[in-house]
């Protein structure tokens, strides 16, 4: 396929106008799209289709049409680097196009600044299935979390028909970027931004979305969250004040399929933690959750040799009030609710790109093991 630079495209457009091949309106498309169609409808690397009988200027090679389907543009998605929001969304849209029998992309809400919150659902539509929830980047600076859930989504979609029943008997609800405004902001302005981009008194101070859920909201004063908008733990003016948290709530509570597991991915403590975060007492299913967490930690260690500790949120870290995992366990009644803190304590939020793939593989092993554990119990 012949390619021509943008500069050459501009020059070419003037030539084509003089020879009446394109109109002034077409010229704008030519320069912006850098694609041109030959008279038989085949494409080189420019834009609009010309009218039948159009003479192709000298220097443009005609391409013989074939019956082969058009090849997609160069694949942008990989796990060798961190990607922007548009690439992530294009990736899940591509999975839907490639695997329409099992993949569906939907918009479950919009962010404070009006960006779509997209969810990929992978399902064989069996009415007997249970549901699994995976989300990432509720805290926008935790880029590795999005890499991990997109890797899991890619693996399940592309290998679905050869995977064990413990994977295929579930409806996978995957939200790769729960905080799209903050995620974009970390790429364009402040790499360490954690919250969403909500306004307070006219300023975009943001709300910590993982302190905005209703279970335990505002408990323990400033020890588990903050009422100060300037704080990174600012919980918002009330539970579910933020549309991003509402999107999670409404999607899960509005589902007709029973959720068995809720996995929210974070970084960087290398932990597998579960309720409670807002109080000291063990949750009613403490031992079962501990066992499920241990199953995941064992799978990670066998995969990569990295040790993840397991325990309740309060025991492993600190008071965290209004978290999505406390809410999913207590209110949504999802029995296996975990927050998985990914790598790495050494690099904190800036995990090197050469560790992305290792992290993805170890967590995929953990999720697969948890699914087997859930089906046995």
- pLDDT (tens digit, 9 = 90+) per residue, 153-184? 999 999 999 999 999 999 999 999 999 999 99
Cβ atoms within 10 Å, residue 162: 8
Residue 49 domain flag: no
- pTM of the shown model: 0.81
Decide: residue 88, CB within 10 A, 0-12 exposed, 13-18 middle, 19+ buried. buried
pLDDT at 77 over 80: yes
Return the pLDDT at 76. Answer: 82
Mean local confidence (pLDDT), 330-344: 98
In the chain, how many domains are there? 1
Q: Indicate the pLDDT class of residue 75, thresholds 50, 70 and 90.
A: low
Model pLDDT for residues 300-330, shown as the tens digit of each residue: 999 999 999 999 999 999 999 999 999 999 9
Mean local confidence (pLDDT), 96-109: 98
Return the pLDDT at 94. Answer: 97
Q: Indicate the pLDDT class of residue 57, thresholds 50, 70 and 90.
A: very low
pLDDT at 280 over 50: yes
DSSP state of 77: -
Residue 170 domain flag: yes
Looking at every residue in the chain, the average pLDDT score rounds to 86
Q: How far is CA 79 from CA 83, 132, 150, 302, 349, in A?
A: 9, 23, 9, 21, 17
Q: How far is CA 207 from CA 50, 98, 112, 204, 243, in A?
A: 52, 37, 10, 9, 11
pLDDT at 354 over 80: yes
Q: Contact 371/170 with Cβ under 8 angstroms?
A: yes
CA Rg value for the chain? 24
Mean local confidence (pLDDT), 221-232: 94
Q: Please tell me the distance from the alpha carbon of residue 179 to that of residue 372, in angstroms, as a whole number.
A: 30
pLDDT at 202 over 60: yes
Model pLDDT for residues 30-48, shown as the tens digit of each residue: 333 333 232 233 333 333 3
More confident residue, 7 or 229: 229
Q: Which of 279, 269, 294, 284 is nearest to 347 (CA)?
A: 269
Residue 267 domain flag: yes
pLDDT at 111 over 80: yes
Residue 68 domain flag: no
Measured in whole angstroms, how far is the alpha carbon of residue 78 from the centre of its chain? Answer: 13
Residue 105 domain flag: yes
pLDDT at 13 over 50: no
Q: Contact 241/207 with Cβ under 8 angstroms?
A: yes
Residue 172 domain flag: yes
The domain containing residue 261 runs over which residues? 85-376
Model pLDDT for residues 243-259, shown as the tens digit of each residue: 999 999 999 999 999 99
Cβ atoms within 10 Å, residue 2: 12
Q: The domain that contains 99 carries what CATH number?
A: 3.40.630.10
Mean local confidence (pLDDT), 224-236: 97
- Peptide bond connecting 344 to the previous residue in cis, omega within 30 degrees of 0: yes
Residue 27 domain flag: no
Q: Which of 308, 316, 269, 277 is nearest to 292 (CA)?
A: 308
Residues forming beta bridges with residue 93, ordered by sequence position: none
The question of whether 291 is a catalytic residue gets the answer no
Residue 15 domain flag: no
* Active-site residue (options: 142, 270, 341, 362): 341
């Amino acid at each position: 396929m012949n390619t021509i630079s943008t500069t050459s495209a501009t020059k070419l457009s003037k030539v084509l106008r003089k020879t009446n091949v394109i109109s002034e309106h077409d010229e704008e498309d030519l320069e912006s799209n850098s694609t041109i169609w030959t008279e038989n409808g085949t494409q080189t690397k420019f834009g609009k289709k010309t009218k039948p009988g159009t003479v192709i200027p000298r220097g443009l090679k005609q391409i013989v049409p074939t019956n082969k389907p058009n090849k997609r543009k160069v694949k942008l998605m990989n796990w060798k680097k961190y990607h922007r929001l548009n690439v992530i969304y294009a990736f899940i849209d591509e999975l839907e196009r490639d695997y329409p029998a099992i993949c569906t992309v939907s918009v479950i809400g919009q962010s404070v600044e009006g960006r779509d919150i997209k969810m990929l659902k992978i399902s064989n539509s069996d009415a007997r299935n249970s549901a699994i929830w995976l989300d990432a980047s509720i805290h926008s600076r935790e880029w590795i979390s999005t890499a991990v859930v997109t890797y899991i989504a890619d693996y399940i979609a592309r290998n679905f028909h050869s995977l064990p029943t413990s994977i295929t008997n579930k409806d996978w609800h995957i939200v790769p970027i729960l905080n799209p405004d903050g995620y974009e902001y970390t790429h364009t302005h402040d790499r360490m931004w954690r919250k969403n981009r909500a306004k307070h008194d006219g300023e975009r101070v943001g709300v910590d979305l993982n302190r905005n859920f209703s279970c335990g909201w505002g408990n323990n004063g400033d020890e588990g969250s903050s009422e100060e908008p300037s704080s990174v733990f600012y919980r918002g003016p009330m539970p579910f004040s933020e549309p991003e948290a509402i999107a999670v709530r409404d999607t899960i509570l509005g589902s007709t399929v029973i959720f068995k597991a809720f996995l929210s991915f974070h970084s960087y403590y290398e932990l597998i933690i579960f309720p409670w975060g807002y109080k000291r007492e063990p949750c009613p299913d403490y031992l079962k959750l501990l066992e499920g967490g241990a199953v995941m930690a064992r799978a990670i260690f066998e995969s990569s040799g990295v040790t993840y500790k397991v325990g309740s949120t309060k025991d492993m870290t600190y008071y965290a009030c209004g978290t999505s995992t406390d809410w999913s366990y207590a209110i949504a009644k999802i029995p296996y609710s975990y927050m998985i803190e990914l790598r790495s304590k050494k690099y904190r939020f800036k995990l090197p790109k050469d560790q992305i793939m290792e992290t993805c593989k170890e967590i995929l092993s953990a999720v697969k093991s948890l699914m087997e554990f859930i089906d046995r119990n």
